[in-house]
Each structure stands twice: as C-alpha cells, then as structure tokens.
Structure 1
C-alpha cells in the first residue's frame, strides 16, 4: 500500500475523521493525542519507508470533528477499530503517546485480534502523578478561563512569552514549546471543550484516576515497548519502574535529555528503539484459549494495588 503524506478525511458514524496514510509494508498506527497527527512529523517519513503508517487525529483533536460525544478510552478505541476497518487494514502495531497510550492499551484489550504489538510513549495509568497544568485543566471553569486567556492579543503575548522562555532554556521550561502549541489551539471553543471532557475522564484535581496495574499481566501475550523521556515534566519517568515490575517481559527505554515528547526531542533515537523493537519481536498471535488461561491464572496472582488516588478500570488502560 502506498499513499502520499497528506491529510485525508473519512466519515465515521457521521463525524469527520482526519488522518495521514503513507508508506508500505506492515501497518503501524500512531495516535495523535493532546496535539494531533503533527506531533509525529519527525518520525512519520522515516517509518513510512518500511511500514504503512496511519496517523489519525482522534475525535476532538486536530482536524477531526469535535462534537459533543463519547470521549472515553473505550470510545476512542472503538473509533480506531472502525477507522482501520474502513481502511481495510486487518492488524497493526499500535503506538500511543501520553493519553494515547491509554487508548492504545484499551484498543489492545478490546481488540487483541487486531493488535500485533504495543509501543507506549510516556503513557498515563502507572501512577497518580501528573503535571499541575493537566490537573488544572480538569477543574470547573477551565473552558471559561481559557476562553479569556486565548482572546486575541492576550493569546499572542502569552504564546510568544512561552516560546521565548523555551528558547532561553529557562528552568522548568522543558516541553513548554509543545504546551504553547496546545494553548494556542484552545482559541477554538470546541477544541478546549473536547480537551476538558477527555481529561476529566482520566484525571482529577488529585492526579490520574485510572490505572493499568490490575491487568498488566495480560501483556504477557503482547510484545510491549515503553519509551520515556528522562526529564518528562508532565508524567514523571520514574513511573517506568512500574512497567518493569508489572510486565517483566516489556522493553523499557529511557531517553536522556528528553521531556514528554521523546519522538520530537530525539527522533533518531526514538526511531532506533522502535525499529529494533519491531525487528526483534514477532507479532502477537491472538489465541482465545491463551487469553482465558491468562485471565484464570492472573486472577489468582498477587495484584499490585493502585496507589492512593487511582481506581482500577475494567479495561487495561495506559
């Protein structure tokens, strides 16, 4: 399959969905979350030399529609399944960043027969810790306050100030350029409303409220790679220790001198890790009996309890 790298559109359940489709070979699905598909700009072209890359804007993000709709992890996973079906793609390696890691894990839990591998980049769901900025975005009045902060003039001054602080490498400004891009997008009322709904499903004022810890044993049948920036200010990289404890077979890579976006900070290192992971693992073969065995034996194992402030959820989430 070959396609040019341009944004395409398809209607799913009456809502416009934007995505990039390019390359040839086994399918690699990248989730565009918090920003949109452009967050993957530095890695799409190199990956498309060996893989069919699908980089969607999830509902409520980027150029996709932003209706009042289901913005739960399960809803997003269903949307990914439907998009793959419309594109006539049978199976894919799923790459998810941040909240998209949760969508990726949800997708793998709901549709293991469609999932070959998982690559999670700075995923949520491994501990309650999360940036105060994210917690603030879940509070009542966020949309109204952001509506004022993104008025013409105010928005331009703040955006320029954030980018100058990042360029000067001031303390605490890691990833502030990416945050500035997200902030600028909130000038659109539908975008900030969708972001508010998305975040409230997984975060409250105390931090993250969903966890993957109670169902992590299911990754035994799924090749899993977790990539984290050592200086992540959004979700601390220390949470990667939980991956090693819960999923001993997973590959965990910490990228030095990188924040919440290692695929943008160090694209060559990110590409090296992903390519090596893909080359050194075999696609998961869905086995219903194996899944039943894991569920039976997993239920009898000591389960690491969610930390204070988190709740287990029925699907495996990241």
Structure 2
C-alpha cells in the first residue's frame, strides 16, 4: 500500500497552514468539511493525482493547521484558499468541496471567478436549511463545556470504541458513525472545539442552515457544476439535490446509492468515475467580466437566470 502524500506547511498571514499535494497537471483543490482534515480525501487523492495536481489543505482551525481566534467565515476561508494557491503558483483550479467545504467552494467561486475552472460539490452545505440536529446543537451555548467532558480520555475512549463497534455491526442508524467517531476524537482539543463552534455559528442556527447559494445560483450558468450526494445522508439530506436541479438546471447531479454523508469514502470508485467524467466532458470556465455583468443584471431583473443548457444528468 502506497504511503499518503507528505504533509507540508506554509505560513499565511502569520498562521501555519497544513496541506498535501500530489501529481501534475490541471489543478484540483479539495476542501474538507467541518472537524475533518485532508485525510478525508485519502481514498481519492492518488487516483486523481495521476493526471492532475491535487492540493488538499487542512482548513484553518482543522487538522494540523493553526487554530487561532480568527476569521472562520466562508469569505475568510475563500481568501485563505486564494492565498494558498497564489503561494503555490497555481493560477486556476477546479474546486471540489465536501459539506462545509462545499460552501467554501461556492464562496470561492463567487469571490474569485477568475481563479475557478469548475465546481464539484459533495453533499454541500449552503443549499437548503435542513441539517442534522447534531450540527445545530454544536452552535448552542454550553457545547464547548459539554464536549470538554465527553472528550476526557477515559470517556472518549469508551465512546469512540462504542461508535466503532456499532458501525462494524451495521446497526440501524449507524451510517457514517466511523467518520463521526474520528470527528468526535478531534474535538478533544479546546482550540478545535472553539473553531468548529465559531464557523458553524456563521452558517447555522437552531433552525438550520441560514447561509444559502439560492440567491446567486444563477451565476453558475457560466461555470461547469457537478453535485454528488449520498442517498442515505444523515447530516444534510439528499433531497436537497432537487433544489440544486431547480436553482442550477445546467448542473450535473448524481446520487450515490448505499452511501451517507461521505460518498468519497463509502464509494470512492464511483465518485472518481463521476469526477473524471465531469472533468473530461466539460471545458474550464473562461472568466468573462462582461458575461458576469450580464448575468448579474439579468438576475437583478428577474430574480434568476433562465437555464442555458438542459440537465446533464439526473440521479444515478
């Protein structure tokens, strides 16, 4: 079994950023979700690196990146990804975002269309309000104090072992529990808990997700977009894929059967097939400020743009 790509570090605005890179060719920027890190992509990095330059960072506040008291907004993360690409001398990239990373990917494309070739969103945040009660709970007062108790060494070991055993036994309701166990373990660090709560409060409240792409989805008419969702996602329901089809009729939407919130880990071969086919069948977006202005004017007048292409693919 080949070793994982070696982790590298770079300072951006005085904060250490961790990332891995692999391969050569057109750039793919892989953005993980809340309380995860670059290792969530372990099953797809090397295959994608056969003909692409793959960059998989630990977002600020995650993994081996710094966890300061800082800006954990979508815009702040988008700025950080722009700076990382600039330091790596990468001019443009196809951005692949999972969960919260999907929200960052959409924000990146909105702020920096000249840097964005395509978008691939995997179970993305920012489509509709529905989200797991666990995510909503993490935004509430007392979350950090509760997690400080639940992640004490003895308690954490027992709970994580229980979660892993439940997943191995395939008990009902244990979809993604192995991934959730790793996330739970990462929250043993107080600075990680603080970062997670701060970023979630910027996009989620007790009623669910309140930051949405809906009002700007018409801008994807000029940007190749693919969305992948696990059919049994317990965190962000796959029913939101229908919203994508309504908001961005030109998007390619794929539902992966027998998969939860992490289809790139449940079924990496299927996700690789979808991504490769999408890359091969689309051309990188050509940044055109005149075209962007036209879309903005049309959206301002009508509330949305008329679809320019038919739906590439429905659920699979």
The answer for unaligned runs of 5 or more in structure 1 is 305-318
Q: Which residue of 2 aligns with 1:146?
A: 147
Contact 2:32 2:99 (8 Å CA) reproduced: no
* Structure 2 match to 1:113: 114
Greater Cα shift, 177-186 or 4-13 = 4-13
- Residues 1:255 and 1:221: Cα distance change in structure 2 (over 3 Å): same
After superposition, what is the alpha-carbon deviation per residue over 1:120-162, rounded to whole angstroms, capped at 9, x for unaligned? 0001112111001101111001001100000010000000001
Name the Cα RMSD after superposition.
1.0
Count residues in correspondence: 301
Give the TM-score normalised by the residue count of structure 2.
0.94
CA distance in 1, matches of 2:130, 2:248: 20
Give the unaligned 5+ runs of structure 2.
306-316
SS of residue in 2 equivalent to 1:274 = helix
SS in 1 for 2:302: coil
Does 1 or 2 have the higher relative contact order (CA < 8 Å, sep 6+)? 1
Indicate if the aligned counterparts of 2:218 and 2:304 stay in contact, CA closer than 8 A: no
In the alignment, what sits opposite 1:198?
A: 199
Q: Is the 8 A contact 1:33 1:57 kept in 2?
A: no
Mapping 1:1-318, distance limit 5 Å: 5-34=5-34, 35-303=36-304
- Could you list the per-position Cα deviations for residues 238-294 of structure 1 after superposition, in whole angstroms to 9, with x for gaps in the alignment? 000001111110000000000000000000000000000000000000000000000
Alignment-derived partner of residue 309 in structure 2: none
Tell me which stretches of 4 or more aligned residues in structure 1 moved more than 3 Å.
Answer: none
Distance 1:161 1:70 in 2: 35
String of CA shifts for 1:62-89, please: whole Å, max 9, x gaps.
0000000000000000000000000000
Instruction: Report the Cα offset of residue 33 of structure 1.
Output: 2.7
Going from structure 1 to structure 2, the CA distance change for 1:237 and 1:16 (only over 3 Å counts) comes to same
Counterparts of 2:15 and 2:33, CA distance in 1: 17
The 1-side partners of 2:75 and 2:178 are apart by 30
Secondary structure of the structure 2 residue equivalent to 1:293: helix
Inter-partner Cα distance in structure 2 for 1:12 and 1:20: 15
For residues 77-111 of structure 1, the C-alpha deviation after alignment (integer angstroms, 9 at most, x for no partner) is 00000000000000000000000011000000000
Give the secondary structure class of the aligned counterpart of 1:299. helix
Structure 1 residue 302: Cα displacement: 4.1
Deviation (angstroms), 1:26 = 0.3
Change (3 A) 1:303 1:279: closer
How far apart, CA to CA, are the structure 2 residues paired with 1:13 and 1:125? Answer: 27
Residue aligned with 1:30, SS: strand
Note the C-alpha offset of 1:32: 2.5
